[in-house]
Chains A and B, each alone.
Chain A
Amino acid sequence: MFIYITKRLLWVIPTILTVLLVLFSLSYLLPGDPADIILGPRATPEMAAELESRLGLDKPWYHSYLIYLQNIIRGDLGTSIFRDRSVLKVILDVLPYTVILTLAGMGLAVFNGISIGLLAANYNNSYFEKFLTMVSFITASTPTYIAGVLLIVVFSVNFNLLPSIGIGDGGLLETIHHLIGPALALSVGWTGYIARLTRSSMLETLDQEFIQTEKSFGIPRYYILYKYALKKAIKPIIAVIGLGIGRLLGGAVFVEVIFNRPGLGRLIVDSVNERDLPLVRGGVLVAALLFVIANLIADISYAYFDPRIKQK
């Protein structure tokens, strides 16, 4: 186990270095001359040269790459062109909103998914179970942005119950009130997945011998279901939570744009549209780091809960 984790951790380092190289090469790949985009048509050559040296575009690429790496290690992600502030500060300002949104979405998905899955396993082979399976298929095929749009149409436009934009003025109740819609929208797709996983895992556990033994001892049904079976069946669900957090980070892009919330996803979309190169690089780097960490947790928890993986 320890060797597996160490190997997996070491493998991350070259991956991140290559991710950095890809992000670095964006300045050569993005269409248009950065100096032109930033300064506009009336820039003098001196201004352009000054800016190019500030962005590190006047040196050979490997030289600039090393400088780029050095700066990153020192925690300097550059300065945003249009916001005129440190990229790191801009990102750290919005990151908590994305983290809270993702965790709230995951929490809702786990709670609702396990509830639906348990009901489906309990009423297996009935029409109610078929209905629940269909519900989980439909939620699993609802993209985040459609869930968001439908929630806005129903709860904000028709019933005026939930706010459709923003994050509130900072009070706890306001914050939660503004979080309900976005978190629900984010959770919808993963709810269906967890429900299906819970159902199949429960059915598999209930089929095993020790459950039959307990039944023969006359232990009450609900006790067997929720005490013994659930305890065992929950392992694969815990194992996919890491994977789910990574997926929801991607879904947060849409939720933040639709609900007009500040956050990492919206920051990346805005900076791509504005061609704010340092901000694109910084934002994508942080997103990739979070994603790699989530995947790392997912892999390790898989290996922990399902020892067969380690051998691969």
Chain B
Amino acid sequence: MFKSQKFFRFKKKSIRVIKIMKKDYKAYLGGSIIMLILISAIFAPLVAPADPYKTNVTKRLEGPSLQNLLGTDSLGRDILSRLIYAARPAVLVSFGGIIISVIIGIILGLLAAYVGGILESIILFIFDVIRAFPPIILILVLLSIIGPSLLSVIVILGVTIMPRYGRVVRAETLSEKEEDFVEAARSLGADNSRIIFKHILPNIFASVLVLSGMDMASMIMWEAGLSFLGLGLQPPLSSWGVMLQESYQYIQTAPLMILWPALAIMLTMLGFSTFAESLRVALNPKLNQEV
């Protein structure tokens, strides 16, 4: 009985959110871009017209043609296929990175808000130390310690962004804790874990969701930027940043080539940020700009 009521409330709320988003052109734009990226990442071998790693030195640096819709790169590889395959590391980095930072952030934020005292000070202090470095420089130094690979890029991006979530979760938990309905649940005998999972987490879910949409855009930006500097993902892997770096060397002879990975990165970021914005309007969480 209680469970079905709960489900009904959740359903009602999501229907309201979807109703608002249906009227917003930004939701359609962002949603379709994200779908496009996901489809190319998951079905890359089916969608891509050619093998992204097959080199052909006789056909290097060619312009767009019927065989190679976007032309070929410096090793004669098909640019369109490489672009499509490069959606894979982009999706892995953005989703993987965000999952890591959300999970660690929620755990640390809840701990800080619930336990308080010295533990809270320590956790807040760790956040402040991470936030004392410009993100890109922290990522750069950490990468030079661990060494560049897909996994290390994901973990480092996740850890660098994490304090944002920790702070939001802590602040919102502190204010939710004081709400009447949490007090009521406690007086009915609910223990802490029940209050956290049933009452507090669902209420901070909106803020976390909106923030992660924005951060996934930044993660894709940082990954490509690092690979562009030669410090992130390494060739011959197909990644937009690696492609940027490779075509940057031919900027004088084949300036068109660098346009494709640049457009792919911008489109992906646009998709995530417009979708997050429309979510923000629909969910209207109590985010303030301080975080």
Contacts and interface: CB of A to CB of B under 8 A. Distances in A.
B10 interface: no
Contacts of B145: 26, 29-31
B275 to A, nearest CB: 11
A140 interface: yes
A142 B266 contact: yes
Given A30-B144, A30-B145, A143 B269 contact: yes
A91 interface: no
A137 B134 contact: no
Contact of B258 (A137, A149, A275, A288): A149
B66 interface: no
A19 B266 contact: no
A146 B131 contact: no
Interface stretch (B40-48, B68-76, B104-112, B222-230): B222-230
Given A137-B274, A157-B252, A157-B255, A257 B229 contact: yes
Interface in B240-280: 244, 248, 251-252, 255, 258-259, 262, 265-266, 269-270, 272-274, 277
Contacts, number: 120
Given A15-B129, A137-B274, A291-B132, A143 B224 contact: yes
Interface in B194-216: none
A14 B229 CA distance: 33
A16 interface: yes
A265 B248 CA distance: 19
Given A149-B248, A157-B255, A18 B229 contact: no
A295 interface: yes
Contacts of A161: none
Given A149-B244, A152-B251, A157-B251, A288 B134 contact: yes
Interface string B17-28: 000000001100
A244 B125 CA distance: 23
Nearest to B126: A18
A143 B225 contact: yes
A141 B252 contact: no
Given A157-B251, A246-B134, A302-B290, A22 B129 contact: yes
A19 B289 contact: no
A77 interface: no
A141 B266 contact: yes
B266 A18 contact: no
A43 interface: no
A269 B266 contact: no
Secondary structure type dominating chain A contacts: helix
B79 to A, nearest CB: 16
A272 interface: yes
B221 interface: yes
Contact of B266 (A138, A254, A309): A138
Nearest to A280: B141
A158 B252 CA distance: 9
B136 A253 contact: yes
Interface of B: 25-26, 125, 128-129, 131-137, 140-141, 144-145, 147, 171, 217, 221, 224-225, 228-229, 231, 244, 248, 251-252, 255, 258-259, 262, 265-266, 269-270, 272-274, 277, 288-290
Given A302-B290, A309-B290, 7 more contacts: A137-B274, A138-B270, A157-B251, A157-B255, A253-B137, A254-B229, A291-B134
12 contacts: A11-B128, A15-B125, A22-B129, A30-B145, A137-B26, A137-B277, A141-B272, A143-B225, A145-B244, A240-B289, A251-B136, A265-B137
